Amino acid sequence: MCRVISVANQKGGVGKTTTCVNLGIGLVRAGKKVLLVEADAQGSMAVSLGIAEPDELEVTLVNIMEKVINDDDVELGEGIIHHEEGIDFIPANIELAGLETSLVNVMSRETILRQYLDCVKREYDFVIIDCMPSFGMITINALVAADSVLIPVEAAYLPVKGLQQLIKTIGRVRRKLNPTLDIMGILLTKVDRRTNFARDISAQIREVYGNKVHIFENCIPMSVKAAETTAEGKSIYLHDPKGIVAGGYFSLTQEVLADEE
């Protein structure tokens, strides 16, 4: 059984990509087979995994989705890159923005990604989708393809409004397109442990959302080491194995695994 997790928040810079990469590689280190899918035209997941110029890639998620749209066969493993840390990934680049616009005229446009994942999913224990910071058709595709949504929230201010909107969108997708979609939880990211402010935000989020949505026990601390990994093309486990962010993502991985049992 494979679990498909979409990592979503329409706000940028909250740690979606960092979470996809380090939760994904955390699960690999725990012996799981994991595929990461970049559903973001920015290509920052590709960069985080060592591809310096994603816009120069020949094959990306766009080609795969176009094949599904045209009813062409996607070969096993096509477009999937193997990273040296044992994770598989499908990168994206700027062309995804163009595909998003052209999806408007496509039949079953919300289910293109799901149709593709239904074919490759049996090869993996987890598929993790890195969403773009918007509610466009690509993000809807990611929510339709998912079993669960993980919501990273930056513990920098109380993001009540944005979160309400996201939870509402997830509810709408559940009612209309994907009845079994669940919210796996809110993950607090970039938590500055030196300030009371971050603690206050965490407490407030628990107060406002705690009875509606699961909130992960572990949060991800703020550290410049996390920011550095993006340029390194490797996970935090290799870049700063003993650091607080590696510890945070290790604990999150354990929490996700415990949830499977």
Residue 220 interacts with, from ligand ADP, Mg ion, none (CB under 5-8 Å by kind): ligand ADP
| Position among 189, 233, 235, 253 found at the interface with ligand ADP (CB under 6 A) | 189
Q: What is the DSSP string of 151-187?
A: EEEETTS--HHHHHHHHHHHHHHHHHT-TT-EEEEEE
| Position among 6, 60, 178, 223 found at the interface with ligand ADP (CB under 6 A) | 223
162 is a contact residue toward ligand ADP (CB under 6 A): no
17 is a contact residue toward ligand ADP (CB under 6 A): yes
Q: Environment class of residue 30 by beta-carbon count within 10 Å: exposed (0-12), middle (13-18) or buried (19+)?
A: middle
- The rounded distance, in Å, linking the Cα atoms of 257 and 152 is 18
Query: Closer to ligand ADP at the Cβ: 68 or 245?
Result: 245
DSSP state of 61: H
Query: Closer to ligand ADP at the Cβ: 20 or 69?
Result: 20
239 is a contact residue toward ligand ADP (CB under 6 A): no
- The rounded distance, in Å, linking the Cα atoms of 27 and 106 is 35
Query: Closer to ligand ADP at the Cβ: 86 or 247?
Result: 247
Query: Closer to ligand ADP at the Cβ: 12 or 247?
Result: 12
Q: Environment class of residue 260 by beta-carbon count within 10 Å: exposed (0-12), middle (13-18) or buried (19+)?
A: exposed
| Position among 10, 12, 182, 206 found at the interface with ligand ADP (CB under 6 A) | 12
Query: Closer to Mg ion at the Cβ: 123 or 232?
Result: 232
Helix ranges (DSSP H) in the chain: 16-29, 44-48, 61-69, 95-102, 112-120, 137-145, 160-176, 196-209, 224-232, 236-239, 244-260
As measured in angstroms, the least distance from the Cβ of 92 to Mg ion is: 10
Stretch that binds ligand ADP, among 7-15, 31-39, 90-98, 115-123 (CB under 6 A): 7-15
Query: Closer to ligand ADP at the Cβ: 17 or 141?
Result: 17
Per CB under 6 A, which of residues 115..154 are in contact with ligand ADP? Answer: none
For residue 113, report the phi and psi dihedrals to the nearest 5 degrees. -65, -40
6 is a contact residue toward ligand ADP (CB under 6 A): no
Sheet arrangement for strand 182-189: 81-82, 88-90, 34-39, 126-131, 3-7, 148-154, 182-189
- The rounded distance, in Å, linking the Cα atoms of 6 and 8 is 6
Total residues in contact with ligand ADP, by rule CB under 6 A = 17
As measured in angstroms, the least distance from the Cβ of 128 to Mg ion is: 12
Contact residues toward ligand ADP (CB under 6 A) are 12-18, 44, 189-190, 220, 222-223, 226-227, 230, 245
